[in-house]
Amino acid sequence: MAKPVILAVDDDREVLQAVARDLRSKYGEQYRILRANSGEEAIEALRELRVADEPVALLLVDQRMPGITGVQFLEQAIEHYPKARRVLLTAYADTEAAIRAINEVHIDYYLLKPWDPPETQLYPVLDDLLDDWMANYRPPTTGVRLIGHRWSPDTHRARDFLARNQVPYRWSDLDSDPEAAELLRATGLQQPALPVLILTDGTTLEAPSNDTIAGNLGMQSPPELPLYDLVVIGAGPAGLAAAVYGASEGLGTVLIEADAAGGQAGTSSLIENYLGFPSGLSGADLARRALTQARRFGAEFLLTREVTSLEPREGSTTLNLSDGTSVSALSVIIATGVTYRRLEAPGCDQLMGRGIYYGAASSVAESVKNEDVFIVGGANSAGQAAVHFAKSARSVTMIVRGASLSASMSHYLIDRIAELENVTVLCETQVERAVGSERLEALELRNSRTGELTTTPATTLFVFVGATPRTDWLGTSVMRDQHGFVLTGRDLMTDNKPPAGWLLDRPPLLLETSAPGVFAAGDVRYGSGKRVAAAVGEGSMSVMLVWEYRASLGL
């Protein structure tokens, strides 16, 4: 298999030689380093690589060149290799152009010349970008394979699970790919239940549950300790931050996740407002980075296991898990976030996974090329999805209940949407009914101001209509508000008095629940910020409070 390519472009031969030398010495084993002396030569090289179907991982290009500039080259390069990482080499005087290019051609980074020493000025940036690229790269013949029907809810679930857990897999759609049927016949299975998952050793699994997939891919392992310093429940941004800080500060930490690391943020196509990532980063990248970081510090992960109940005991807390096992800890951080609210219109439940999806499932995103996509919701998550799908779909229609987007969406996204010619926003509109038997065929939409009802053909609808906390499993073990959000700190106090049953002579700490030593962080907490940065902040702060709790016990 051909090595992925890194292409360096500069008109100054000496500089080009130096870049190529530095690239080769660090990346030469894994990547093929190519160079071009001008933008025109580089475009021709990319065209040839495309024809030969060779992967390109990274483009490192000088901004100031005679003929086409670096930014102009990258604009054209996107057509051939939209997923290649793009880095602009600039002189200090060109930084304005480079910052503009972040928006215009979505460059991932700009580097100032000279980049000496490469160990600190060049490699850390490129390592990061190449890791990102590699995480999404699917070599043509490796990994597990999944065969199924695009419109089947079971297939959708399996694809979503694999994608969100960042398992590389090849998807074969029986509805559109003749090779899929051949491959299925080749398995020798007689009328198999779909989807069929083919593992790398040839083992086939028929209609596997997420649990079975996880078990067969070696994603599940038993807890290593009988008693942990800290158990974190939920691997969204809050839980991942708690695991990073807990483990890095020497607490024996285990993180338990029911579904896939990343939580809601993991389903976001591009998070643009998280500090330190001026070009934005996808939720999947954020999750992968955080998971790697927590593992590096020694946090243990129990993936695809749901916590079903919490029992505060004298001096520790026991958590019972969906596989019948249990884990105990001195401190617990609840970071179980929220889950999408269902669209209540008739027909929606039956067509879930058959054209109607909750959140912008990354597994479906690639299938909507040249299709007409509908999105319900007017908040940032819906706006992000609209911008994301507008790149590949023929048209995107946003169905918004309010009179405008301004009450519910950030300004930068409203501006971005206004610039997109293939996005239409229908305000004061609601889905009245979803129509279809095997799959979504049409939507009945009602204009709430005029009362007019229209029926529009539709195959794909993404729903973003708010969320409810994932806390039913807590029962009465900790206090919650009437919507189910977990109460902490001052919100537990009435007339300066702690809640009934609170036996300590101190009030609950800032993020502490009504059970001493049990904390809540992120979206699940009453009054939280409902943002990635807020969740990360609370996740890390809760670890500080765990230390305070331990100190109060004399530990």
Q: What residues make contact with ligand FAD under the rule CB under 6 A?
A: 233-239, 256-259, 263-265, 267-268, 271-273, 306-307, 335-338, 359-360, 380-381, 384, 470, 473, 522-524, 530-533, 535
The CB-of-463 to ligand FAD minimum distance in angstroms stands at: 11
The CB-of-290 to ligand FAD minimum distance in angstroms stands at: 10
Of 7 and 368, the one with the shorter C-beta distance to ligand FAD is 368
The CB-of-260 to ligand FAD minimum distance in angstroms stands at: 6
The CB-of-536 to ligand FAD minimum distance in angstroms stands at: 8
The CB-of-189 to ligand FAD minimum distance in angstroms stands at: 32
Give the separation between CA 308 and CA 318, rounded to whole angstroms.
11
The CB-of-2 to ligand FAD minimum distance in angstroms stands at: 35
Whether 301 contacts 295, CB under 8 Å: yes
Of 300 and 306, the one with the shorter C-beta distance to ligand FAD is 306
Q: CA neighbours within 13 Å on the CB side: how many for 231?
A: 32
The CB-of-362 to ligand FAD minimum distance in angstroms stands at: 10
Whether 333 contacts 307, CB under 8 Å: no
- Of 209, 210, 467, 458, residue with least CA distance to 355: 458
The CB-of-510 to ligand FAD minimum distance in angstroms stands at: 16
Three-state DSSP state, 196: strand
Give the separation between CA 540 and CA 364, rounded to whole angstroms.
33
Q: Give the dihedral of Cα atoms 238, 239, 244, 245; nearest 10 deg.
A: 70
Of 132 and 523, the one with the shorter C-beta distance to ligand FAD is 523
Of 58 and 400, the one with the shorter C-beta distance to ligand FAD is 400
Q: How far apart are the first and last CA of the chain?
A: 55
The amino acid at 51: V
253 beta partners: 230
Of 236 and 347, the one with the shorter C-beta distance to ligand FAD is 236
Of 174 and 386, the one with the shorter C-beta distance to ligand FAD is 386
Who contacts 177 (Cβ-Cβ below 8 Å, separation ≥6)? none
Of 132 and 257, the one with the shorter C-beta distance to ligand FAD is 257
| Element counts in the chain: helices (H) and strands (E) | 15, 26
Of 160 and 306, the one with the shorter C-beta distance to ligand FAD is 306
Whether 386 contacts 269, CB under 8 Å: no
Whether 302 contacts 257, CB under 8 Å: yes
HEC string of 326-364?
EEEEEEEEECCCEEECCCCCCCCCCCECCCEEECCCHHH
Give the separation between CA 398 and CA 401, rounded to whole angstroms.
10
Give the separation between CA 237 and CA 67, rounded to whole angstroms.
45
The CB-of-381 to ligand FAD minimum distance in angstroms stands at: 3
Of 7 and 524, the one with the shorter C-beta distance to ligand FAD is 524
β-pairing verdict for 227-233 and 204-206: unpaired
The CB-of-365 to ligand FAD minimum distance in angstroms stands at: 12
Of 21 and 391, the one with the shorter C-beta distance to ligand FAD is 391
Tokens in use for 484?
A: 């189910």
